[in-house]
Amino acid sequence: MTFLCIGHRGASGHAPENTLKAFEMAIEMQCTWIELDVYAVENELIVIHDDKLERTTDGHGDVMDASLSYLRSLDAGDGEKIPTLIEVIELVNHRACINVELKGAGTAEPVSQLLIQLCQRGWQAEEFLISSFDHPELAKTDKIFRRGALFAKKVDDYFARTTRLGAYALNLSMKITTAELVRQAHDQGLIVLVYTVNKHEDMQRLKAMGVDGIFTNFPDRFPR
């Protein structure tokens, strides 16, 4: 398997995160995968990371309390708008695979429905990975799509959880990644993807551990 360099919220070190500009830049920097975050608002899947608007937009309040029209009116940086998931997928247009992270409640079903429709129009299920820290929500996604179990903190039962999810990938914070955990994950048939890796020396260290890929804000820092 080729070592994966995944554009974390696009090339978010160079362009406003989770915007079309950031995703296009990640592809131009030769990312074969991009990662993004979704909430479901008024039957639309919108691409934004935080549950509040202040950090990444000129808006105020909670994402889930806002109307879709208000969210779409905001500046997400450099004049970019908060995109919808379908807008990102149409921009990518098979040039990279897409890791969709479920953020808000009730995202599993609409994400699955949209991706199934896309697979009926020429996309392949393997072009997507669906991940989440919310494992009960992740478990509701359609089983034709690969699942990535996200962990930010150490737990004693990684593999009981990944087994229940039928996970394909173990997505780990760099802070909790060890060579032994990587070895155990591979023994379980999982790939290991690590976030968020922005220094070349960290990538080299993780690569030596045997991780299968990294999420990075700066894809241009990592030679292919």
Structure tokens at 139: 């478990």
Q: What angle do CA 36, 202, 195 make, to 5 degrees?
A: 20
Q: One of 14, 49, 135, 186 is an active-site residue; which one?
A: 49
* Amino acid, single-letter form, for residue 189: G
Q: Any idea which residue has 């976030």 for tokens?
A: 195
- Any catalytic annotation for residue 60? no
Q: 56, exposed or middle or buried, with CB in 10 Å at 0-12, 13-18, 19+?
A: buried
Cα-based distances in Å from 222 to 45, 200, 213? 31, 7, 11
Longest CA span, the chain: 48
Structure tokens at 116: 């199934």
C-beta separation of 135 from 166 below 8 A? no
C-alpha radius of gyration, the chain, whole number = 17
Q: One of 8, 14, 186, 200 is an active-site residue; which one?
A: 8
Which residues are known to be catalytic? Answer: 8, 49
